[in-house]
Structure formats: structure tokens, C-alpha cells
Structure 1
């Protein structure tokens, strides 16, 4: 007998994750298929769209091989903002990912302070060269082509429909939060005809799986494929569904880390420090901040100091044994370069302060863990117009309890951890509305942490950290 399930697809930054989820919210089968990011020159970060589709087919084959499945629906999410330029319905060249920084300088020359503030009031985004409109202007302005974000391209490949959702539309840099439509004046500024853009639909809308799409995922044609949402928003949905608490912050860790506080209406920051992001549902918005390097920063550290896979566990264990404060060493974890969290400085580079001959790899790793946690705390403090009393988190950090305890001690708030294989893929599956959310929560592994005596020590270290790494470039000392 075939087992009923839905598929959740996450077109991630480094790999595609596919989960088959039962109506009770249990993971029936899953697969992960990586793909290459091309970085031949400084600032470049491109991927082949064909690699994404091949990864999806391979992942679907693996999932189906693990049992007889009757797929009832498909939900999708994906990395953003990642630009896919189209010739008809086919990709024209490689996709330019959100990690690509080549359009940053070009964009900053065209967007002055007044325009930047106006764009923020309209769209909730803090404009730089990593949004689709300036990416398209810099790389592809002479091509009269349609373009999509990565998730929207996947939806097109599966259904033949050009569509996006509000959360993904925000990554275009053209979505007006008040009118809930493309902003005609911003489209004119970037010289992008509105007809080149996809239609905007609710994340909960769907289109039938096409014949071509059915071959890709080995499912019956005609089943609903849901428009879905941005990967960060899907992660929040996996943590709290469509009823997130207003006094809670959600942290989703992956290659990057997303920090989101939920509101019932858009809430702009007077200082323009955080994004305003549409979430799932008509009256749900997020104050959002993103750390560009977190999981990728950990990978950098272990590749540098623990080349042998067998040494990686002991490498991190040695970092956990270092005392709080890393014996005076501070690490600004801006390893991806560019803006980070709520600082928004395109010149940011990672930096170590206080390094001596007494420090070794374990101290650097400990300082990196603490630095990432300090930046999360900085983001949460920017959100707090009223006290935030708790934190919900998922992703790789829930597999590393000592690191999660460090984060808890630095935040000084209770942390509820939800262990999910892929929060974004699970969130995409939940968006199909075929899974009972309460049963899903019951069947999901969770645990809670409280801050310890080290919170006081970390308050002192955090004050020093913020003084050293304020809104300045730590490597050059230039103001933001």
C-alpha cells in the first residue's frame, strides 16, 4: 500500500533538500543533493540552474526508492535573493546567487542616502547590490528578458507558471509593502518593465504539477504545487506555524543565520537597521536580520584547523573547553564580507582582536562561536521596542548543544530548540495545509535551555565586543 505524504523542497545555498512528510508531520524519507558554486573571480558566486534540476531529480529518486509513496502535494522554498534570467522559460546563463557581491559598488553609486531611505519605507529592504533589481541592472541590463528568484524558477520548472510570493518578492527590491504589488516608480528607476516580473500570489496558492515537472519529481501530474515562500520564512513557519508569538524571536541557522521577530503589521526601524519581511498570511510580517556567514564560518574554521574529518569533533570539543570570553580573544565573524546583521556596512571584513602567542586554534574557534552569538544578540536588541522574553531556534545549532548553551548564556533568555533535519523544507511541506500542525509539533524532538552563571561574564565580554566592533569596518576603521 502506498503511503500518503507531501514533499517539501528547499533549494538551498549549497544543496537541495527534499523531505517526504506524513500527514502526522513525521519525516518518511529525505535526501540532500549538493551542487557547485562557481567563484572564479573576486565577488563571484554563481550556480547552474541545470544543476538544481538534476539535484531535484536525484533527490526525488532517492526518496521514492525508500518506500512506496503517494505524494498528495508539493511545497517549495529556496535561497534568496538569487537571480535567474530567462530566455522564454529557459535559463539564460548561470544564476547569480545572493552571495555574489560584484554589483555592490555599482549599486552604492546609484543609491544615495535619501533614495535608500525611500526604498526602505516602500519595500522594507535596505538596498544593496544583492537584490535582484540591481543585480539585473548590473549584469543583464541590455537583455530584454524576464527574470525570477531561484525558488520562483523552480516553481516555473514544475508548473510552467511565472509567479512569486510576497516574501520572495521582497528579495527583488521592488515589492511595495503597503500596496502589496510591484512598485512602479522603483521599476522605472531600475529600468525594469513590470511585465518582466512574475505575478504575485499568496504562499498558500498552488498550480498543478505539469507533465514535465512530474517526470522531474516522479509524481503524478496535476497534484498541487504550492507557491511557497523564502527559505527564512519557511523556517519560521516550521517553528511556529501561522501563529507566532510577538514576544519571541526565531533563529534559523544554516549556511547563514536568520533572526526574525514577528509582527501583525509592518514595523520599520527608525535607524534602518533591519529588514521588514512579509511572512505567511495576510497580517504577518517579520523584523529580519541576517548573518551571512555562520554555518559557512564553522566550515571555514574546521577546514582550516581540522582538515581530517576524524579531528573535527575533537576540534570543536576543545573550543567548548575554553573559558567564557576565549581568554581575551574577540572574533568579528564577518567572513562573508559585506553587511552583517544590523550593521549594514558593505566594507566589513572579519577580524581578530587580542590575538597573542598564548592563543591556539581552540581559542579562535571559541571566539568565532561567541562572535556569532554576540551578533545575534545585537540583532535582537535592535528589535526590542518591547521586551523579548524567549527564543525559538532550529538548524545545525540544535545538533551542537554546547554551542547552543553559549548562545543561551550570551542572550540571557530561555531558548526552545526544535530539532529538524531541514527547517525550511519542513516549512515548505507544512505550507501545503495537509499536515496537522499540532500533531507535527508533538512528533518533533524539542528541548529547552536556560542561561547559566556565565551570563554575567558574557555581559562584560559583549560590552567590550560592541565597543570594538561597532558600525565600523574593523579592518580599516572607516565609519559606516
Structure 2
């Protein structure tokens, strides 16, 4: 009987569960979806019960597909920044606001009024950001005081799933970094930040290492999933950190990062020491391997392409839209797209930015709209990397996310950032990283560095589109004209 570890990634659109053998090969994988709630403009929420039901169903199906493979441990990953507010009995108080929720503008202003921005960045690596969990708590205190009065625990999405699976409250540094109150030097909650905001420290769970066992699978859930009772559950990592582990990205080897074209777009750069951007234009988080990493995030990447597909051309296969875009010259013949469909993170940190096509003419068709969108996302990532480069210069990027299946889009990213972009031979994601994070606890590797090094996937380069010419300066000119310097 061969042995496997399991990884569960609680994403925005659904949950993915995978089983990996000791060579990192996928033995089985299952996905299950759940709805996204948008009760008001700028609000995005999900019901944590939907996560749990989907995860249990996915694990049950995964167990049925394992055959004679024996699971040894389960690791967790998930979307960052969401707020799961629990009462004293561990019950969910309200739907969970998500990472791309923008209701917290006033809460961000409150944080910056109480804590100087430079001090907050020096302590936590980040300025106050609308999507982070900490402003969500202040919003809850102001907007729904009756609910806030009931809050006894504030958990991140994957940590809530871990609590349901084990009955134990815990988090780990890579995900906790995105709360907005983790001191990066101590890798624990910053008491001074929380005191300034009048929030009790025990609202937040204990911080364990990403590869630590935080509990064991409850007997009732073992029966529901078919997994062994007492199966060790490992803390895991936030989705970007876990995906970095799956791609072999290590803070011991800075210089090789990643670019993700998922719902959001992310440039990931490992660091050995916590070195923030003094202005907080990009994020500094703990990495799941014990080091650190910078993140440049554009909120609408493949999400923008999905929006175009569903709202403008739902009857057309996505492959057709991409083929049409591929027939359009670099620069989209003067058409520029600003991809701010949900506001923007790096480097603008402005939830009020909005998307637009600029320069439309009678000569432009559907292919130009798609091509300009692909280029606009690439240029927004280039804006973020321009801030990151002095702090964490990179030589190459490994590609991940659904949008990374497009050679055209990856070539545009390579051309815009001026970096080699490489596609992995397999498509590892956050769920795979969660399973790798569980391997030391399973005894399949002596420690996490050995697992990351031993399971790093092979890659092949994607030819860069170097003919973008004046398109990036035009993108910047359009941004400045509409929004001012940034």
C-alpha cells in the first residue's frame, strides 16, 4: 500500500482537494464549487457553511478515488484576508466578507488615524488595505455592533475549515500576515497594534508554523469522508504561499519568483529578510517555508477575462476570444484597457479605481477588446513589479493560475515585466502546496526544505512578446490622465 498526503485549497470559486504521492505525482483530485454573494455594490461574501459542505464532499470523493493509497496527513490552503467571525460556541455569526470586498474604506482611515502608516508598515510589512481582515473587524464594530458584541474568535477561511475538521483554533504566518496585525519580526500578533485599535489579542488564534500539525481529524468527519479518524491536519499556507511551495519557490533561493493569472494577478518574490516597501505599495508577507515574500497584486486578472467572456460574449468559446486576440498586433492598435474592475491593490492601493477601455474607434473589434484586456493586466503587473524590483530583483518567473494556460498572455507578461516566464511541466496550485506542506508531518521528507527542493517541477520558457512598443507608456499616460500620478 503506497502512501499519500492530502491538500485542500479553499478558493474563491470552489474547493480543490488533491492527493500526492511521495514523488509529488497527483494520485487523485476533486473540485467542488460554491456561490459568491454580492449583496451590495463593492461587497463580496460567502457562507462558511458552503465551504465546509463542499470540502467534506470533495474529501469523500477523493477518498473513494484513492484505491489502495493510504493518507498520512492533510494540509490546508485557502483564499486570504476573509473574516469568519465566530461566537463563544464556535458558531458563524454572519457571512464572511472576502479578500476583494471593498466596504472598509472608513475602517482603513480609522486604522491610519490611530497608527501612523510608516509605523504600521515597519511592524506588519503593509499599510492598511481595504481587503485585509483587520479593517473588516473595525467595519463590523461600527456597522453591525450587535454582531461584533458576539465575536469571540476571528478566523481566516482556511483556518475556519481547520477548526471544523479538528476542533482546534490555529493559524500560521503566511495567511496571518494578511490580517494586518501580525508583527513580521516576531511572526506573532502585534500587541501594540491591537491595543491601539482596542481589539483583544485573544480574538485571534495561536500562530503555528505552516508545516506544524494543528490537530487531528474529528471522528464524525472521518466517518463522513471515509478518512482515518485522527488523521493529522497541518496548518498549511495562504493560497499564494502554498502555490509558491508547489512551484518550488524558496526564500533560500531568492531570484526565482512566480506570476499567477488567477481571479487576481500576483507577482510573488521570495525574500530572506522582511524588507517592506516604505510606502506599502506592495505586500510583504511571511512565506510558508519560514522566510518572507513580496506580493504585487492586481485584483482583476483572469477575473477580468472571465467578466468579458460572461458579460460581453457568453456565446463565444473562450478559446475563440483568445485566438481573436492573438490576431491583433501588439499594442492593440491604440486601444488601452485599465483593469480596475474591483478597485486596485498594487501599487495604487485605491479601491475607487475603475476599469475602462480608452481609445476605442470604429476600426476596433472584439479581438481588440480582448487583446487590450490581456495587455492591460500585464501592464498592471509590470506596475507592481517596478516597485518590487529594487527590493527583490528576479531573474525568472514560474507561471500558475488558469490564465497561465495561454502562451499569448504569458508572453505579454514576459514582455511587459522584462523577465523570463516559465511554464511548469505540470500545473501545481495551492492544493498541491498544502499537500507538500503536510509531507514532513507524514514522514515522507525530513523537513520542508527537502520537500520543496525534491518536488520542484520542471519548467519550459514561454517566448516573450517584446513588440509591445509604445503600449506600456500609453497605458501609464492613460492612467495618469484619468487618475493622476500613481
TM > 0.5: yes
Shift of 1:205: 0.5
Distance 1:271 1:368 in 2: 28
Which residue among 245, 264, 268 is the counterpart of 1:237? 245
Question: Tell me, which stretches of 5 or more residues in structure 1 are unaligned?
Answer: none
Q: In 2, are the aligned partners of 1:82 and 1:96 still within 8 Å (CA)?
A: yes
Shift of 1:144: 4.0
Q: What is the match of residue 461 of structure 1?
A: 471
Change (3 A) 1:143 1:203: same
Instruction: Give the number of aligned pairs.
Output: 467
Partner of 1:91: helix, strand, or coil? coil
Q: In 2, are the aligned partners of 1:20 and 1:29 still within 8 Å (CA)?
A: yes
Question: Tell me, which stretches of 5 or more residues in structure 2 are unaligned?
Answer: 142-147, 446-450
Does residue 365 of structure 1 match 2:370? yes
Distance 2:355 2:472 in 1: 17
Q: What is the match of residue 117 of structure 2?
A: 116
Distance 2:455 2:119 in 1: 42
Q: In 2, are the aligned partners of 1:315 and 1:362 still within 8 Å (CA)?
A: yes
Q: What is the match of residue 99 of structure 1?
A: 100
Change (3 A) 1:413 1:479: closer
1:243-271: per-residue Cα shift (whole Å, max 9, x none)?
55322231122111221111110112133
Shift of 1:355: 1.1
Change (3 A) 1:244 1:297: farther
Does residue 379 of structure 1 match 2:384? yes
Write the mapping of 1:19-58 to structure 2, written as runs, cut at 5 A: 19-58=18-57
Does residue 210 of structure 1 match 2:218? yes
Q: What is the match of residue 75 of structure 1?
A: 75
Distance 1:110 1:65 in 2: 48
Distance 1:138 1:203 in 2: 29
Change (3 A) 1:303 1:144: closer
Partner of 2:178: helix, strand, or coil? helix
Q: What is the match of residue 60 of structure 1?
A: 59
Q: What is the match of residue 145 of structure 2?
A: none
Partner of 1:340: helix, strand, or coil? coil
Partner of 2:168: helix, strand, or coil? coil
Which residue among 173, 179, 183 is the counterpart of 1:176? 183
RMSD, matched Cα: 2.1
Does residue 126 of structure 1 match 2:127? yes
Which residue among 292, 295, 298 is the counterpart of 1:288? 295
Q: In 2, are the aligned partners of 1:6 and 1:429 still within 8 Å (CA)?
A: yes
Q: What is the match of residue 313 of structure 1?
A: 319
Q: In 1, are the aligned partners of 2:248 and 2:453 still within 8 Å (CA)?
A: no
- Higher mean Cα deviation, 141-150 or 80-89? 141-150
Distance 1:127 1:217 in 2: 40
Distance 2:114 2:376 in 1: 29
Distance 1:244 1:358 in 2: 51
- Higher mean Cα deviation, 238-247 or 256-265? 238-247
Distance 1:128 1:404 in 2: 28
Distance 1:358 1:172 in 2: 47
Q: In 2, are the aligned partners of 1:74 and 1:226 still within 8 Å (CA)?
A: yes
Q: In 2, are the aligned partners of 1:18 and 1:32 still within 8 Å (CA)?
A: yes
Distance 1:479 1:458 in 2: 22
Dislocated runs of 4+, deviation >4 Å: 419-422, 435-439
Q: In 2, are the aligned partners of 1:56 and 1:216 still within 8 Å (CA)?
A: no
Distance 1:103 1:114 in 2: 16
Partner of 1:281: helix, strand, or coil? coil
Distance 1:256 1:175 in 2: 23
Shift of 1:419: 5.0
1:134-165: per-residue Cα shift (whole Å, max 9, x none)?
20121243334211011110111111111111
Distance 2:397 2:221 in 1: 39
Q: What is the match of residue 461 of structure 2?
A: 448
Distance 2:394 2:37 in 1: 40
Q: What is the match of residue 9 of structure 1?
A: 8
Which residue among 153, 156, 159 is the counterpart of 1:149? 156
Partner of 1:225: helix, strand, or coil? strand
Distance 1:285 1:439 in 2: 20
Does residue 414 of structure 1 match 2:424? no
1:450-476: per-residue Cα shift (whole Å, max 9, x none)?
43xx51x32522122122224x8x3xx
1:198-245: per-residue Cα shift (whole Å, max 9, x none)?
001100110222223423542111221100111010111111254553
Distance 2:388 2:228 in 1: 45
Partner of 1:158: helix, strand, or coil? helix
- Higher mean Cα deviation, 324-333 or 101-110? 101-110
Shift of 1:396: 1.5
Change (3 A) 1:420 1:8: farther
Write the mapping of 1:203-352 to structure 2, written as runs, cut at 5 A: 203-206=210-213, 207-242=215-250, 245-282=253-290, 284-308=291-315, 311-337=317-343, 339-352=344-357
Q: In 2, are the aligned partners of 1:122 and 1:178 still within 8 Å (CA)?
A: yes
Shift of 1:370: 0.4
Q: In 1, are the aligned partners of 2:111 and 2:197 still within 8 Å (CA)?
A: no
